[in-house]
Structures are given as C-alpha cells and as structure tokens.
C-alpha cells in the first residue's frame, strides 16, 4: 500500500507540474546551447541557430544538429528515425514509451533543468524545505502505464529502490548544469522518410561545466544518450549517427573534416577571415573551429574476445575498452564520417529512409560506396579506395578507414574544393540492438579559437581541447583547479558491465521470464524474485547462460529480479501483466 500511495502521489505531482517547457538551454560556461524535446539540437523552435559562442556574442557555430538511428529486422526491413531540423518533419516525439505500445507525451512534454549547486545544497541538508525541482525530478515512470519504473538516476539514501526526496534522496546529474528529457520514435507511426518506426526510447542528459579556469571544459557542451529498444524486435546492422548543419558564423565559407583517431568531425573556416562586416553573424578575424566528438558508443556485439585496437573487422581506433584485458566490454567509437551538399543530387540532402541509412553506412544516394579522394564519389576521386571517413587529413595513421590500404592525406583543400555551407554525419555501427537493450552514447561539442593566427591555428586549439576532454572522460577525472569527476562522489554511480550485459525478456511478461547471463555455465549465480515491499517471494539457482523463470502465478504489478554474481548483486525491474 505504501508504494501504491507513493506512485499515485508521484503521478499527481507530475500532472500538476508538467507544462510545455519543451525548449531550454545550457548557458553556464562560454557556450549558450539550445535543446528541444523533439531531439533537435542547437536550433530554436522557429529554426534559428542556438549554439552561441562566446556566450552573449550573438555568433553561432551550429545551425542545427540531431540524432539518426536505423536497423534491419529479421526480414531485412529497415526501421529508422531521423532528426534533421528544418528539413524534415520530426520523427521523434516527447515522452517515454510503454511496453504496452503506448507513450506518455503529456507528463513528459518538458525539459527538466537542474543546477549542481542547488543539488549539492539539498544533498548536504542546507535547504530547509524540499525544493520544487527535487519533487518534480523524473526518477520514476508510471508502471501502471507500462512505463519503466527507473528513468533517471538518483542517490538512494536508504537503498529501498524508490526516489523519495523527503528521505534525503536526490538527483544524480552530470556537470554543473544539466537538462533532462525523454523522446521516442513511436508516438506517431508515420515517418516522413517512409520507414517503419523502431520503437525506441531515448533518455537525454545534456550538461556543461562551470570551470572558466579550464579552457577545454569552458568551451564544451556534453550530451549523454541512453537508447532503449522498447519493441519486441531485434535490429541487425544497427547504426547511430549525429548529423550537423555546421556554420562557423557566416555559413557559406566553411570546410569540414574528420579526425579518425580522436573520433571526431569538425568544421573550420575556408579562409582566415569569416564573412564580412555586412554579415552580422560573422566572426571576422581569427575564425574558430567547432568539433563533434564521439566519446563512446554502444557496446560491440559479444564475441568472447578482448579485441585489440586495430583495423580488423568490428574493431575500433577510437572506441573504449579495446585491449584492456576485459572480454566483451568494448564500446564502439565513430565508425564513419560523410559530408553531403545542401542540394539535390547523389551527394545531396537525403530524401528517403534508405538514403539516410546509407549515409550512415558510407554509401551515396546512387548506392555507390564512398571512395577516397576528390569529393568522395567514384566519378571524382584519387586513389578511389572504399573508405569510411571523408577528409581525414593525416589522422588515420593505420589506414583504418581504407581497410589497411595506405593512402595520402585527404582534405577539402587537397581536393581544391570551394568553401561553402557544410553538413556532416558521424556514425557508429554496426551492432545488434535486441528487445530491451539499452545502449549509451556520449557526445562532446568542443569549440576552439586561436587569437594568434588564422583558421588552422583554431583547429589546433580545438584538437588540443578534444584531447583534454577525452582524457578527462576516459579517466572520469577533472584536474585542478576545478577537480572532481564527471559524476562527482558520492554521485559516481555507474552501471556495471555485468549489469549492462544481463538481459531479461519479455518485459512485461504474462507467464515466463527469460534471463540471459554473460557468463560460462559453471559460475555460481543466484536469483531472487522481490516485490515492491522488498519481500523475497522466491529464490532460484541459475541454469546456465540462458534461464527461464515461471512468473505466471504472480499478480499483475511491478517486481525486481535480484541477481547475485560472485562479485556483485544487481537488480532488474520487470512488469507482470
């Protein structure tokens, strides 16, 4: 009864406080960046640029950006969703998905904004009353609607599994200022690009640090995505991309490039002076450079190996967990980069879902593969090797993009291109996305500007900041004078590798629960079925890698499956229909 009352109270609170705050911004450091609940990045609802840097200057380095995702079902049918602000109708919609095939776009048609200093003050008991933001924090979903019980992380002071700010629980946020929101691709089954929806839920935490003493942190905005497959479909050859319409001030004098080893693509000015005095948004002298950096991505498919960094199949130069002695913890990095023209034609704006998906696979609109040199098309190339990265310069020292075939450096300048309006897409894949799978994606948007030389010097400044950001992120440590972590203690709660690899399905279920463990059959694991009062209803011993648990006798409701391994105990929530 206690839990039911709390859930009802929480639902009432959400209904009273939910409002159409579907657009907000991060502005705690040198960047002022806008976010929309639809998944659109760095553009206002009326399609004006909103990635202002320096903060307050009126100058921007993005016009817009957005998430792309696609995969094939067992019948080779494409399912996908894309965000290309101002170009296509939104294929993402506010709110979480339920396991019953519905979504809540009313209570979640908003962005929650939190500040580290306020959270710390509340956590340390300095707030006399529970602030509204602590009460409204979207830690839990309404399980009676089939929505996941756990949505966003929190510190659980009494370890009862429930977010209760009156019991000194508080949100776990990244950075010094954070925006939280949820969107999905299935509230409306119609997609302008013509494909089937995927049934994915995307939970977003965008954040930034207030650390003017560190030029890298002060000029970076981060976005953390959790991408969850709420459908009953397994997607193969899944790809995730981050598309950008990059404009360094004046839009029509830019170049674009990729940096393979840094897992980044970036835009820079085509000359040492951006625009002219007649263009109000121009940067003028010392134009900056702007990067999109893939800090980590989804887990590579299990193969029972600790893959080494290299140029082999399904290996990565710029991912995480490669060659570290741990089996199957590898996280994919940026697997490809393509730019396309703001025009029709075989290298122009994608039109169909197949065009979008193929761009994530380095395939042009005429189904020819991207090739090395020139403009990347088979009709205009130099060595013409198939490649995964356009304009990598000399950053692909192991020739990973060309499958190990040595090639000369390749930039837009080498290709004698004319500067213009640039659009780019960095992608990660392939990987398999099964029912219930939850895959992470972390992106950093890093700005660099040198006031001592021209455009190339700004690129060097930007790359130095990328190196600093990647080191901080990989080590989860921020150096002095700022100090701390990306999620400072005691907020440094990370999902373990084991937890992320354990799968339970179907969820919800009416009769049987399948449990897959990422272990050999001989290890000692135990299961406990727990209700929401914390009572252990039944205990089981594992049957091997794949296990079946009969839950047909349970009454409908929310439960936890507590799984104890030789090294840790984890809990997986599920719904009994």
Q: How do 200-208 and 220-229 pair as beta strands?
A: antiparallel
User: Rounded to 5 degrees, what are φ and ψ at 62?
Assistant: -125, 145
For 129-163, what is each residue's pLDDT tens digit?
899 999 999 999 888 777 888 999 898 888 788 89
What does the pLDDT read at residue 543? 67
User: Rounded to 5 degrees, what are φ and ψ at 367?
Assistant: 70, 15
The pLDDT of residue 108 is above 80: yes
Cα diameter, the chain: 74
Candidates 551, 560, 511; CA nearest to 532 is 560
Which residue bears the tokens 């502005």? 27
Which alpha helices (H) appear in 190-338, and where do they start and end? 215-218
What does the pLDDT read at residue 505? 83
pLDDT band at 200 (very low <50, low <70, confident <90, very high): very high
What does the pLDDT read at residue 320? 87
DSSP assigned state of 145: G
- Cβ(29)–Cβ(71) below 8 Å: no
Q: Is 490 exposed, middle or buried (0-12, 13-18, 19+ CB in 10 A)?
A: exposed
What is d(CA 407, CA 371) in angstroms, rounded to the nearest whole number?
A: 11
- Which helix (H) or strand (E) segment holds residue 244: the answer is strand 235-246
As given in the structure block, the two tokens for residue 204 are 């977003």
pLDDT band at 532 (very low <50, low <70, confident <90, very high): low
As given in the structure block, the two tokens for residue 555 are 């009454």
For 344-385, what is each residue's pLDDT tens digit?
899 999 999 999 999 999 999 999 999 999 999 999 999 999
Torsion angle of alpha carbons 372, 373, 379, 384, nearest 10°?
-40
List the domain boundaries for the chain. 2-475, 497-576
What does the pLDDT read at residue 567? 62
Name the architecture of domain 497-576: Sandwich (2.60)
For 235-259, what is each residue's pLDDT tens digit?
999 999 999 999 999 999 999 999 9
As given in the structure block, the two tokens for residue 139 are 């830690």
The pLDDT of residue 435 is above 50: yes
What does the pLDDT read at residue 432? 95
For 448-494, what is each residue's pLDDT tens digit?
999 998 999 999 999 999 999 999 999 888 888 887 777 754 433 33
Strand residue runs (E) in 58-172: 62-72, 78-82, 93-94, 112-115, 154-155, 170-171
Count the neighbouring beta carbons within 10 Å of the beta carbon of residue 555. Answer: 7
């Amino acid at each position: 009864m206690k839990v039911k009352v709390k859930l009802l109270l929480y639902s009432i609170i959400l209904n009273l406080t939910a409002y159409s705050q579907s657009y907000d911004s991060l502005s705690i450091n040198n960047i002022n960046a806008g976010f929309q609940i639809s998944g659109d990045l760095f553009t206002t609802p009326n399609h004006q640029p909103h990635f202002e840097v320096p903060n307050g200057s009126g100058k921007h380095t993005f016009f817009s950006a957005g998430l792309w995702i696609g995969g094939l079902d067992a019948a080779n049918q494409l399912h996908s969703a894309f965000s290309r602000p101002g170009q296509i109708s939104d294929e993402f919609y506010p709110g979480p998905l339920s396991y019953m095939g519905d979504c809540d776009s009313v209570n979640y048609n908003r962005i929650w904004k939190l500040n580290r200093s306020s959270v710390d003050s509340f956590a340390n008991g300095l707030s006399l009353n529970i602030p509204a933001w602590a009460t409204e924090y979207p830690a839990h979903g309404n399980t009676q609607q089939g929505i996941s019980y756990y949505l966003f992380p929190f510190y659980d002071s009494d370890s009862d599994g429930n977010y209760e700010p009156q019991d000194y629980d508080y949100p776990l946020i990244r950075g010094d200022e954070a925006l939280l929101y949820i969107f999905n691709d299935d509230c409306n089954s119609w997609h302008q690009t013509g494909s089937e929806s995927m049934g994915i839920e995307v939970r977003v935490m965008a954040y930034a640090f207030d650390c003017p003493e560190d030029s890298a942190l002060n000029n970076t905005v981060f976005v953390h995505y959790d991408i969850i497959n709420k459908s009953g479909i397994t997607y193969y050859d899944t790809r995730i991309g981050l598309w950008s319409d990059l404009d360094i001030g004046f839009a029509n004098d830019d170049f674009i490039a990729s940096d393979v080893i840094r897992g980044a693509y970036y835009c820079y000015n085509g000359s040492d002076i951006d625009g002219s005095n007649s263009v109000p948004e121009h940067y003028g002298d010392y134009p900056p450079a702007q990067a999109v950096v893939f800090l980590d991505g989804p887990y590579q498919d299990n193969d029972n190996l600790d893959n080494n960094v290299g140029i082999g199949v399904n290996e990565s130069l710029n991912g995480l967990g490669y060659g570290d002695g741990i089996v199957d913890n590898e996280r994919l990095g940026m697997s490809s980069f393509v730019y396309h023209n703001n025009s029709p034609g075989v290298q122009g704006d994608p039109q169909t879902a197949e065009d979008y998906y193929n761009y994530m696979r380095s395939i042009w609109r005429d189904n020819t593969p991207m090739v090395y040199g020139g403009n990347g098309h088979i009709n205009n190339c130099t060595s013409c090797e198939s490649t995964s990265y356009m304009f990598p310069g000399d950053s692909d020292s192991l020739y990973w993009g060309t499958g190990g075939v040595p090639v000369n450096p390749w930039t837009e300048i080498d290709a004698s291109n004319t500067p213009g309006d640039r659009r780019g897409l960095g992608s990660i894949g392939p990987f398999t996305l099964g029912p219930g799978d939850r895959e992470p994606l972390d992106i950093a948007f890093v700005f660099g500007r040198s006031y001592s030389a021209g455009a190339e010097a700004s690129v060097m400044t930007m790359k130095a900041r990328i190196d600093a950001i990647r080191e901080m992120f990989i080590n989860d440590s921020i150096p002095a004078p700022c100090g701390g972590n990306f999620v400072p203690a005691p907020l440094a709660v990370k999902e373990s590798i084991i937890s992320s690899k354990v799968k339970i399905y179907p969820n919800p279920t009416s009769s049987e629960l399948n449990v897959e463990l990422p272990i050999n059959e001989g290890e000692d694991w135990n299961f406990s079925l727990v209700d929401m009062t914390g009572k252990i209803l039944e205990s089981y011993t594992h049957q091997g890698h794949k296990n079946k648990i009969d839950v047909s006798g349970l009454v409908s409701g929310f439960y936890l499956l507590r799984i104890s391994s030789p090294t840790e105990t984890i809990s997986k929530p599920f719904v009994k229909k």
